[in-house]
Amino acid sequence: MGDHIKPIIKWFNRGTEFMAAMMMAAMFTTFILQITIRYLAPVGWIAERFPFLDTTHFGWTLEFCLALWVWIICFCNAFIVREQDHVTFDLLYMHVNPNLRKWFAVFTGIAVCVGFLWALEPTWSKFSFLRLKKTATLSALLGDWVRMRHIYSVYVLFLVVVALRYAWRVIHTFRFGAETDLHHYEEVIYKSTGEANETDVT
């Protein structure tokens, strides 16, 4: 990878992490607002003195949190979560010879890529229906133009990006092998032994 590409990738990664952090902050803020309004609801005089705190104005908070959760899960798994961050059952994979491990990685990468791209067509067909379906409460916050298609559009992004990531993984593994998969375990072993040594010293 060229040196002129690395800064672009670095800033892109920071941008996606920033967007994920903003979505998490928005969901947390909405959650706190929801709890606050719930505890203020029994106090009748508050809504009379401050009409904007009437609980009927905050019915959107639950659906907004659910929509953000969908976006956070799909967006983070598409752009932020690394291969080694996933839970895997790789006892056999890590103990075969490097050449066989390479082909394991190539075939599984192709399978994931093809599977995700295959899911695009039925997903897009479902969106033709979702474009007509309104949300239950979000029109009060975002306007009447918002449809369920907009809420779940991030899933299409997730399918495409993950398919592209695995396509790149296939190309990289085919050229250089799958030995980079072992580095994560070396880091874990190094950290665990390092912490154990520090404990012994203290």
DSSP string, 85-107: GS----TTGGGS-HHHHHHHHHH
Q: Which pTM does this prediction carry?
A: 0.79
pLDDT of 131 reads: 81
Find residue 134's DSSP bridge partners. Answer: 147
Determine the pLDDT at residue 106: 93
pLDDT value, residue 53: 72
Domain boundaries, the chain: 6-201
Kindly report the number of other CB atoms within 10 A of residue 135's CB atom: 19
Q: How far apart are the C-alpha atoms of 81 and 171, rounded to whole Å?
A: 20
pLDDT at 68 over 80: yes
- pLDDT more than 70, % of the chain: 86
Q: How many helices (H) and strands (E) does the chain have?
A: 8, 0
Q: What is the mean pLDDT of residues 81-94?
A: 79
pLDDT tens per residue, range 173-188? 988 887 776 655 555 4
Residue 81 to residue 30: CA distance in whole angstroms: 25
